[in-house]
Amino acid sequence: MSDVALNDIRLDIAGLPGNAGVQALRQQAADVFARTGLPGKRAEDWKYTDLSRLSAVLGESWWVTAAQTEPADVHVIDDLDAYRLVFVAGQFQAEQSNLPTGVQMLPLADFLANDTAERGHCLFHVDESAPLFNGLMAANTALASDGLCACIGDDVQLDKPLYIIHNGSSTAHVLNGLMLGRNAKVTLIEHFVGAGSDAALSNIATYLRLGENAELRHYRLQLESDKQFHIGRVEVKQARDSRYILHAVELGAQLSRADIVVDLAEPGASCALHGLFVASGRQHIDHHTRIDHNAPHCRSRENYRTVLDGRSHAVFNGKIVVAEGAIKTDSAQSNGNLLLSKNAGVDTKPELEIYNDDVKCAHGVTVGQLDEDQLFYLKSRGLSTEEARQLLTFAFADEILTAMDIPAVRRFIEHKAFAKLPNMTDLEGLLG
Amino acid sequence: MLKIENLHASVAGKKILKGINLSIGAGEVHAIMGPNGSGKSTLSNVIAGRDGYEVTAGSVTYQGNDLLAMAPEERAWAGVFLAFQYPVEIPGVNNTYMLKAGVNAKRKHQGEQELDAIDFMQLVKEKAKLVELDQSFLSRGVNEGFSGGEKKRNEIFQMAVLEPTLALLDETDSGLDIDALRVVAHGVNALRSPERSIIMVTHYQRLLDYIEPDFVHVLVDGEILKTGDKSLALELESRGYDWVKAEAAA
Ligand SMILES: Nc1ncnc2c1ncn2[C@@H]1O[C@H](COP(=O)(O)OP(=O)(O)O)[C@@H](O)[C@H]1O
Ligand SMILES: [Mg+2]
């Protein structure tokens, strides 16, 4: 056996959950991965994010998962009234979880254990033509150990948020699928957290389908340990008049990349993506968003704010594609970047591809430091330099924080985000 | 109280203040008038401690302390207040929150107990009435979306809350219609007290109809060329500044 064969992802599939149909799809995904490999720096969408670090740090077989016996001692949002699904190292923990009753919702592994469909579950179909497709998605499909598998029926409104905690410090591939029926309404909170002292990879894919007039509020909170690599994919497909609202928060990991892909497939669908990055040290955070306006009268909003300290680096790429028939498209994108240190940097780019004339598309980017005039104004009122800087930094993120409609989540993020910045001392007073 | 001696200051290498001498006693109101670009705002900014102004000679002493050696916030704690000519907008920073932080920082510095939220709100509501500032402004971002007149009112409102012992009003009258001017002037007059000195920088004589100064100084090209009483302002109004320059050159 050559080294190449030893490093073949296909060898790791046996033993993963799924019937013959699913196993076959896993193998297909592995074939795709064997062909595409990791995205390289020459790929346009990976120009600023260097994944060679992944294999350099984790080794040639960077995808290999490891069982984790002890869940790390981590902070989660305690004062949140929610249904909880806890995963440790990519495995569902039944005794720490409470699922809603009366809806179709299972951990993926449990679902697969009883899956009789011969063709293999649709979550395992790899679509190479999907926007921002890359080899990590194929690896995710091939190697997914567990996740959420849920279909929320027509007219069902979950009375409490679904709070998924991914506690992991070892490598895991997690695959989530959530479908909302007609008029269904759900809040989904994905919280990634870990406390590992060794580097590992979290490879998380979340596929979301919104039925007619459905509403999904999605919090995606990335607070991994500062050693972790985090690769995320969120793919949303929206039917007529459905509403998707994302609050994406990036605080953790040494390298974090998320691709957010939204298909406004039918008339009247709308999405709003709110992003907040707070990075320091040598953190690297990258979001590529892609919104396809494929039908008339759809609306998209994007507002991303990044606060960068130390030698951290952020990438924001917001691509919006308006199809020929998508008249009366209403789209706006804004990306603000606050550099607290002169060694921090950002690469940001709006990309518009518009194939009809009847559209409203606005976009704006700012990159700057704290405003000297504002600082002086506050100091002249008696605020210390430190306090003035903190307040202005906080104010910069204010729009994103106030958009969060669950107070417990917002408070948690406020504290986590600003406590991690050096010089953020008297937080209590600041958040008063 | 405030003593400015031979003050020279430059901005971006350009000499703006060229030897200012000014003495201001407790409770006095001084008006500084002068044409555009004569250095009025520069003087205010140097006293308040804004970055970017290089003091090349002279001194500013306040209550016996070297003001120029103090950070802007230390000056605020010592009782210095600047009402800005162009107040900046600070979206996301709540007006009342900023003032509470400012008031309490000052109280802490002076060894007084900090005000709690209830006492502070009471103080703020009372002071807002003084300049007829609608309560809705209290909870908005600092100057965020305020009209020019509202910004100026907000400055005087802040002065009322912070209770300075030395207030510098930099063209607080500019851009106000006559009704707003009356309101603002009323607010300032109500804040006159034997412990509070006020420097009013203005371009127009009309402010002095409402707030009567003890002294009027004429600042031209970085120098105080003439000092007088209220009648000097009237003379400037009718004759302009040129005669002051000519007189000084003679
Ligand atoms: N930041 C600055 N950079 C360069 N020149 C400045 C700056 N601030 C003020 N000046 C110049 O200094 C002079 C005095 O300005 P200022 O003090 O604002 O005058 P006034 O308030 O009397 O109108 C003007 O010629 C102005 O152009
Ligand atoms: Mg001026």
First to last CA, chain B: 33
Q: Tell which atom from ligand 1 comes closest to the C-alpha of B34.
A: 22
The residues, ordered by sequence, that sit 6+ positions from A60 with a Cβ below 8 Å of its Cβ are A3, A7
Q: How confident is the model at residue A2 (pLDDT cuts 50, 70, 90)?
A: very low
Distance (Å) from CA B204 to ligand 2 centroid: 12
Among A384, A399, A432, the residue with its CB nearest the CB of B105 is A384
- pLDDT tens, position by position, A411-424: 999 999 988 776 56
- Chain B residue numbers with beta carbons less than 8 Å from the beta carbon of A429 are 101
Ligand 1 pocket test: pick from B8, B16, B220 the residue with the most ligand atoms within 8 Å of its Cβ.
B16
- Chain B residue numbers with beta carbons less than 8 Å from the beta carbon of A388 are 73
Q: B44 to chain A: nearest residue by CA?
A: A380
Write out residues with Cβ below 6 Å of ligand 1.
B 11-12, 14, 16, 34, 36-42, 52
Say what percent of chain B tops pLDDT 90: 88
Q: How confident is the model at residue A5 (pLDDT cuts 50, 70, 90)?
A: very low
Q: CB–CB of A382 and B162 under 8 A?
A: yes
- Chain A residue numbers with beta carbons less than 8 Å from the beta carbon of B103 are 382
Q: B141 to chain A: nearest residue by CA?
A: A395
Query: What ranges do the domains of chain B cover?
Result: 2-249
Among B49, B84, B101, the residue with its CB nearest the CB of A387 is B101
Taking the CA of B47 as reference, the closest ligand is 1
Q: How confident is the model at residue A71 (pLDDT cuts 50, 70, 90)?
A: low
- For the segment A320-340, the average pLDDT, to the nearest whole number, is 97
The span from the CA of A296 to the CA of B186, in Å, is: 58
Neighbours of ion ligand 2 (CB under 5 A): B 40-41, 85
- For the segment A236-246, the average pLDDT, to the nearest whole number, is 98
Q: CB–CB of A379 and B91 under 8 A?
A: no
The mean pLDDT value of chain B amounts to: 94
- The DSSP letter of residue A39 is P
Query: What ranges do the domains of chain A cover?
Result: 3-266, 372-432
Q: Tell which atom from ligand 1 comes closest to the C-alpha of B45.
A: 17
* Predicted TM-score (pTM) of this structure: 0.90
The span from the CA of A199 to the CA of A255, in Å, is: 10
Higher-pLDDT residue of A116, A235: A235
Mutate to test the interface with A, among B88, B107, B110, B146 (most CBs of A within 10 A): B88
Q: What is the pLDDT of residue A423?
A: 57
Residue B61 pLDDT exceeds 90: yes
Whose C-alpha lies nearest to ligand 1, atom 24? B37
Query: In the CATH scheme, what architecture does the domain B2-249 have?
Result: 3-Layer(aba) Sandwich (3.40)
Taking the CA of B33 as reference, the closest ligand is 1
Q: Is the dihedral of CA B8, B10, B14, B20 positive or negative?
A: negative
Give Cα separations from B68 to A59, B3, B84, B159, B224 (angstroms): 59, 12, 19, 21, 20
Q: CB–CB of A371 and B88 under 8 A?
A: yes
Q: What is the pLDDT of residue A428?
A: 52
Mutate to test the interface with B, among A305, A307, A381 (most CBs of B within 10 A): A381
**Surface of A (353-372) touching B: CB under 8 A:** 371-372
Lowest mean pLDDT among A243-252, A286-295, B106-115: B106-115
Distance (Å) from CA B7 to ligand 2 centroid: 18
- The DSSP letter of residue B85 is S
The residues, ordered by sequence, that sit 6+ positions from A259 with a Cβ below 8 Å of its Cβ are A132, A134, A232, A233, A234, A287, A288, A289, A290
Higher-pLDDT residue of B174, A424: B174
Residue A4 pLDDT exceeds 70: no
- Chain B residue numbers with beta carbons less than 8 Å from the beta carbon of A383 are 73, 98, 101-102, 105
Q: How confident is the model at residue A10 (pLDDT cuts 50, 70, 90)?
A: confident
Distance (Å) from CA B202 to ligand 2 centroid: 8
- pLDDT tens, position by position, A134-173: 999 999 999 999 999 999 999 999 999 999 999 988 999 9
- For the segment A179-186, the average pLDDT, to the nearest whole number, is 98
Asked if B170 and B41 count as a contact pair (C-beta separation under 8 A), the reply is: yes
Count of residues in chain A: 432
- For the segment B78-104, the average pLDDT, to the nearest whole number, is 95
Residue B156 pLDDT exceeds 80: yes
Q: Tell which atom from ligand 1 comes closest to the C-alpha of B201.
A: 21
Ligand 1 pocket test: pick from B7, B8, B10, B11 the residue with the most ligand atoms within 8 Å of its Cβ.
B11
Token pair for residue A254?
A: 């040494």
Q: What is the pLDDT of residue A328?
A: 97
Residue A330 pLDDT exceeds 80: yes
Q: What is the pLDDT of residue A429?
A: 52
The span from the CA of A326 to the CA of A265, in Å, is: 10
The mean pLDDT value of chain A amounts to: 93
Taking the CA of B50 as reference, the closest ligand is 1
Lowest mean pLDDT among A1-10, A196-205, A307-316, A392-401: A1-10
Query: What DSSP line would sit under A54-103, residue for residue?
Result: HHHHH-TTTT-----SSPP-----TT---EEEEEETTEE-GGG-BPPSSS
- Chain B residue numbers with beta carbons less than 8 Å from the beta carbon of A392 are 90, 93
